[in-house]
Amino acid sequence: MTVTDNTTNRLDSLGASGDGPSFAILDEESKREIRRALLQAVAVPGYQVPFGSREMPVARGWGSGGLQVTLAIVGPDDTVKIIDQGDDEGVNAVNLRRLVVSSTGIPETTEAREASIIQSRHRIPEDELTATQTLVLQVPVPEPLRGIERDVRELARMHAEADYSRMWVSLYEDKVRNGVITQSTGYPCLVNGRYVVATTPIPRWDIPRLHMSQFLTLFGAGREKRVYAIPPHTIVEPLTFDDVPFEVERIEGAACRLCGSTDSFLVDSSGEVDSWACSDTAWCRARRSQG
Amino acid sequence: MGYAAARGGLTAIKNAENLVRSLRDEHPSPPVGHDQLTGRLRLLVDKVMGEAGLWDPQLASRALVEAEGDHVEATHLLRAHRSTLPRLAVSIAVHVDDARVLRRVVPAYREPGGNQILGRSTDYSARMLSARRNLPAVDIDRRSPGATTGDLRDGMRRMISVLRSLDLLVDRRRQDDPEPFDITATPARPPAPRSARLATMARAETGALINQWYRNILGPDGYLHEVTLGEVRHSEIEVNVLHPLSGKSTTVGYVRITEVEAIEDLDGDDEDRERFDAGFGACLGHNERKAIAMANLDIACHRDAGRTSLEQSILMTTDGLDSAGFLEHLKLPHYVTFRSMVDRKFAVREARLTRTDLAPRGVGTDAR
Amino acid sequence: MGLQRHRMVQGQEVAGMRGPSPIPTPDPVLTVNGLGKIYGRDDAGTIDRTGSDAGSARDPITGAIVAAWDVNFEVAAGEAIGIVGESGSGKSTVLRCIAGDLEATSGDVRLSTHMEGRSNVLLADPATRRRMRIDQLSVVYQDPSEGLALSVTAGGNIADPLTAAGVRSFAKIRERASELLSRTEVPLNRMDDIVRNFSGGMRQRVQIARALANKPRILLLDEPTTGLDASVAAGVLDLIRGLLEELDLAAVVVSHDFSVIEMLTNRCIVMHHGRVVESALTDQLLEDPHHPYSQRLVSAARA
């Protein structure tokens, strides 16, 4: 991550705004404010930091939080990859990439390994990310406890006191009623032994890769005006009982119809028989080209 | 436009944009100029500026044209535009008494201090579509109040000042919320200062705020008093900033605002039964419905004092961009999350067949 | 009576002191001193203008309600103290101030389980007070919906305090919940039913099971059988008496019903308009009440 160095002269930046859109859409003051919130988020892993979420050229709920995070941290030396459902060509990914690239002039890539910033909705790339990379996840609902409590004052208290027993009760009830824990995506995780977070919704498949990762993950929730972070080398534990193993998505005998993969997250591309395909399209393509 | 499995995006997006642009901009009718909108669709432009929290009639008109009349979309365009601009100055607080009054209604007294001004209003007009041919000649007395400027505010005493002088108003002027809470810099969540609630309501989507009011009148989850309105005013007010060089207060422009005072009859056991309280509402532009709903919700929220979820509803559910954006995000691809849900359906099914960890139960077991 | 016998074994002879002052208890688990709760605006004269002698808890001048004032008592392990009075006498207020459901206006409450009794828990922050409720002090309410989540199963209601105390094994939660439900005589085949579908008596049994989940030292019972059918109430009372004997708990029982107080407690205090008017051994009070209000209560109960 390279932080923009365009903050030398306030008057310069003010003057620049009169001539047209500034670098990375947002004005420098706004970007600085978002970066301050991000620093706080990194310092207190899993804590939802309020920030003055700006209205973006995309609607609330369409990645406005992830976009603000990306624009706040992007610099001229960055290379960006943007995916939606694992797909670089997803219609919303295309749109967000167009905005980031056109407002910054930085290069784009579909190769996860080449990107310094990867903005994503609902997936973590299959390639293992490294310490020089930042993953930005778009978050529709940042509050992991909303299913059990609606009052935001009470929610704030529960997080402050690490009072998560009702969350455990809901997992217990789920297991008793259904025989399994039915929470699918956005599985609640305890970060650094302290805060429970909503994991965007990424599928369960991706959860283990947040644990003790090499890379920094930043979560941006634009509509709810919160950012949070999982720094590298942080313990991330999906909430589950000691004797009820956490399960990831598996389909017996399924393989990608394109690359034959059985060890990536597969999506059911048409709902018909044997229509499984890798959700991470760039990874799938690379695998095919390697033969 | 087909776009297979929500892919192949860029061309489809560009084609969609071109379609919107060409069918809008190349429509055979004459283009709509911004003076037409501000002149003929004044209330629509005002509503957009109010919900955007940005006073610029020209930009708002342009936004409405680009949004093909969708006021939420136009609001979005204005707010997103604001995000690109630096904050150059903060205006100096002005007293609403210094506004030039264009319209004033005082339902609480028959003969309030100063004039009542019906002004530009259809409140008492018959709601009949006018058949153009039968229109009577318009006969405006241009000297009548509302069409003129001048010293209309002479002798106008605000109803809360009248009540205060009669010792009929609870005094809750306070020192702990001196600077208005800036909702564009800090998100407001309960418990929030009053200025945060007022700012949120001033920018709220008009329909959402009216609904919030009405569901507290008639809905299942609230009880809100019908207030007596002390003042409904539409006025023009100066915007002043400190001059960066001279350091003196300088007028940089004018905005129109609608402001409302709502007198509340206190009837709670723990309330002062000898006095009234008052709620306040104000928003950019001429939008009386919104300002009235706001004033009533302001006092309702104060009296509620956190007992119900009213404050949370006001702060977190009335923004038009938040609600509309989140609603429409359901159109985005969701096949990864849906795939994960399908996985759990099968997991539950399997668990029902093989369940050994619990005693068998009558309900929900598979017939097989 | 069982509790009496228990105390004889411990050899703790009670002084049988009469009047509103506390009876000293060796090694108290719960100590309450000068507890008070006032609603509304009071002034320097409010206390004098309210109470049993004044005939009202409401201050005629300021309108303040002195729900409880100057309440003192101690409870040792294996002992139960009763708080008796009519509804509105302030007895539930006292219990709720100790539990932390209400903020007391004044007073000093110590638990031997909290900093070895060196700190007034009324001054502790709300988070600390909520943590005490996990494994030090439990409450059984008259209305089960206050102590239970009705939309959650019986087992899930017990899982709540267990997980709050850090239990993370599903099997252990099931095991402990079964154990507690057996002990409180809830049929085990109802463990996975939601509590809303339970009868009143069964809900109280689940509430008691939940209250005991983490083996607290202190149990506060607020009208635990009020509103139940007589036969059901008798069963729940038997259960509570058995548990108090068995678990060496320090218990406070709030009730308007002398038969409950008589069955469960060995000492009790009588409250009237927010004040303690008498403090005595339960059987002595029933035989020979001193304060006129106590006399009225006892004769009404005996009628």
Chains that contact A by 3+ CB pairs under 8 Å? B, C
**What distances in angstroms separate CA A73 from CA A76, A114, A128, A223, one per listed residue?**
10, 17, 21, 19
Specify the pLDDT at position B134. Answer: 58
Same domain assignment for residues A110 and A200: yes
| A241 contacts on C by Cβ (under 8 Å) | 168-170, 173
Say yes or no: A224 and A288 in one domain.
no
Per-residue pLDDT tens over the stretch A170-191: 999 999 999 999 999 999 999 9
Q: Are B90 and B105 in contact (CB under 8 A)?
A: no
CA–CA separation, C301 and C140 (whole Å): 24
A64 occurs within a structural domain:
yes
Determine the distance in angstroms separating the CA of B9 from the nearest CA of chain A, rounded to an integer. Answer: 4
B98–A contact, CB cutoff 8 A: no
* Mean pLDDT, residues A13-20 taken together: 44
What CATH number is attached to the domain comprising A59? 3.40.50.11310
User: Are A173 and C152 a contacting pair at CB < 8 A?
Assistant: yes
Query: Quick one: how far is CA A87 from the chain centroid?
Result: 14
Q: Which two tokens stand for residue B346?
A: 């099968």
Residue B318 and residue B209 in contact, taking contact as beta carbons nearer than 8 Å: yes
Contacts of C33 (CB under 8 A, 6+ apart): C22, C72, C107, C108, C109
Residue of C243, C269, C302 whose CA lies nearest to C74: C269
> According to the model, what pLDDT value does residue A268 have?
85
Instruction: Provide, as residue numbers in chain C, all residues whose Cβ is less than 8 Å from the Cβ of A244.
Output: 170
Task: Give domain status of residue A214, yes or no.
Answer: yes
**DSSP per position, C160-205:** HHHHHTT---HHHHHHHHHHHHHHTT--GGGTTSBGGGS-HHHHHH
The pair of structure tokens assigned to C78 is 């294996």
Predicted confidence band at B267 (pLDDT cuts at 50, 70, 90)? confident
Looking at the DSSP bridge assignments, the partners of residue C37 are C68
Q: What is the crossing angle of helices B9-25 and A91-104, to 10°?
A: 80
**Residue A230 in domain:** yes
Q: Which residue of A has its CA nearest to B352?
A: A179
A11 and A113 in a common domain:
yes
Both A229 and A268 in one domain: the answer is: no
Same domain? A59 vs A118: yes
Residues A234-246, buried b or exposed e (16+ Cβ, 10 A)?
Answer: bebbbbbbeebee
- List CB contacts (< 8 A) between C192 and chain B: 358-359, 361
Dist CA B177 CA B142 (whole Å)? 44
Catalytic residue ranges of A: 46, 256, 259, 278, 284
The SS3 call for residue C19 is: coil
Does some domain include residue A153?
A: no
| Chains contacting chain B through 3 or more C-beta pairs under 8 A | A, C
CA distance B231 to A55: 33
Task: Name the H helices within B194-334.
Answer: 194-203, 206-218, 288-304, 310-317, 320-328
The residue-averaged pLDDT of C156-173 equals 97
For chain A positions 110-129, those within 8 Å of chain B (CB to CB) are 121-123
Distance CA A125, CA A148 (A): 31
Using alpha carbons, select from C112, C114, C29, C103 the residue that is nearest to residue C73. C29
Tokens coding A30: 């706004």
pLDDT digits (tens, 9 = 90+) for B32-88: 988 999 999 999 999 999 999 999 999 999 999 999 999 999 999 999 999 888 888
Identity of the residue in C155, C164, C170 whose CB atom sits nearest the CB atom of A165: C164
C83: left (phi over 0), alpha (psi -120 to 50) or beta: beta
Number of domains in chain A: 2
In 3D space, the residue among B78, B73, B76 whose CA is nearest the CA of residue B57 turns out to be B78
CB contact under 8 A, C188 and B359: yes
Among all residues of chain C, which has the CA nearest to that of B359?
Answer: C189
Is A149 among the domain residues? no
- pLDDT of residue A12 exceeding 80, the answer is no
- Given an 8 Å threshold on Cβ–Cβ distance, is C153 in contact with A161? no
- Give the model's pLDDT for residue B139: 64
Per the model's pLDDT, the better-predicted residue between A28 and C213 turns out to be: C213
Report whether pLDDT(A6) > 50. Answer: no
**Amino acid residing at A227:** V
- Give per-residue pLDDT as tens, B223-240: 788 899 999 999 999 999
CA distance C117 to chain B (A): 34
Q: Check residue C16 and give its pLDDT.
A: 39
C55 — pLDDT class (breaks 50, 70, 90): very high
| Sole residue written with tokens 């003042």 | B231
Specify if A123 maps to a domain: yes
A193 and A268 share a domain? no
Residue A166 maps to a domain: no
Q: d(Cα C139, Cα C154) in Å, to the nearest integer?
A: 17
Residue-wise pLDDT for C62-97, tens only, equals: 999 999 999 999 999 999 999 999 988 999 999 999
Q: Is residue A108 part of a domain?
A: yes
Q: Are residues A93 and A135 in the same domain?
A: yes
Q: How far is CA A220 from CA A1, A49, A205, B162, in A?
A: 16, 10, 21, 50
One domain, residues A20 and A123: yes
Q: Please indicate, yes or no, whether residues A291 and A189 belong to a single structural domain of this protein.
A: no
Residue B131 has pLDDT above 60, yes or no: yes
Angle at A184 between CA A178 and CA A190, to 5 degrees: 100
> Touching check for C192 and chain B: CB below 8 Å?
yes
Residue pLDDT, tens place only, C102-146? 999 999 999 999 999 999 999 999 999 999 999 999 999 999 999
- The set of chains that have 3 or more CB pairs under 8 A with C is A, B
- pLDDT at residue B364, as a whole number: 38
Strand A266-268 to C28-39 pairing:
unpaired
Q: In this predicted structure, what is the pLDDT of residue C6?
A: 29
Are A38 and A101 in a shared domain?
yes
In which band, very low, low, confident or very high, does the pLDDT at A270 lie, cut at 50, 70 and 90? confident
Task: Give the rounded percent of residues in chain B with a pLDDT score beyond 90.
Answer: 62
Of C207, C232, C231, C225, nearest to C261 (Cα)? Answer: C225
Q: Which residue has the tokens 């005006």?
A: A225
Backbone angles phi, psi at A191, to 5 degrees: -105, 125
Tell which of A12, A55, A226 to mutate to test the B interface (max B CBs under 10 Å). A55
Give the pLDDT confidence score for residue C26 in this predicted structure.
74
Question: Based on the domain organization, do A212 and A270 belong to the same domain?
Answer: no
Nearest to A184 among B12, B312, B340 (CB): B340
**B328–A25: do the CB atoms touch at under 8 Å?**
no
First to last CA, chain B: 46
Beta-carbon separation of B79 and A153 below 8 A: no
pLDDT of B363 higher than 60: no
Exposure b/e, C124-154, CB count within 10 A at least 16 = b? beeeebebbbbbbbbbbbbebeebbbeebbb
Cβ–Cβ of C192/B270 closer than 8 Å?
no
Instruction: Choose the weakest-confidence range: A120-134, B7-21, B65-79.
Output: B7-21
| Count of CB pairs separated by less than 8 Å, A with B | 185
8 Å CB contact of B84 and A25? yes
Mean pLDDT estimate for chain C: 90
Distance of CA C243 to the CA centre of its chain: 14
Residue C40 sits at the chain B interface (C-beta within 8 Å): yes
Check CB contact under 8 Å for B312 and A98: no
Phi-psi region of A269 (alpha: psi -120 to 50; beta: other; left: phi over 0): alpha
10 Å CB burial of residue B140 (0-12, 13-18, 19+) is exposed
The verdict on B39 touching A (C-beta cutoff 8 Å) is no
Q: Which two tokens stand for residue A224?
A: 């709810």
Q: Name chain C contacts of A166, Cβ cutoff 8 Å.
A: 160
The predicted pLDDT at position A15 comes to: 40
Asked if A156 reaches chain B (Cβ–Cβ under 8 Å), the answer is yes
Give the domain extent around A227: 5-144+184-238
This model's pTM is above 0.80: yes
Q: Which residues sit opposite A267 in a β-bridge?
A: A277
Residue A196 and residue A193: Cα distance in Å, rounded? Answer: 8
Q: How far is B193 from chain C (nearest CA, A)?
A: 23
Query: Which residues lie closer than 8 Å to C83 by C-beta, 6 or more apart?
Result: C91, C94, C95, C252, C253, C254, C255, C268, C269, C271
Query: Does A56 reach chain B within 8 Å, measured CB to CB?
Result: yes
pLDDT (tens digit per residue) in C24-45:
667 899 999 999 999 988 899 9
C218-229: pLDDT as tens digits:
999 999 999 899
Cβ within 8 Å, pair A203-B336? yes
Q: Please state, in angstroms and as integers, the Cα–Cα distance from residue C118 to each residue in A113, C126, C134, following that order.
A: 60, 18, 20
Answer yes or no: do A27 and B86 touch at CB < 8 A.
Answer: yes
Same domain, A196 and A266: no
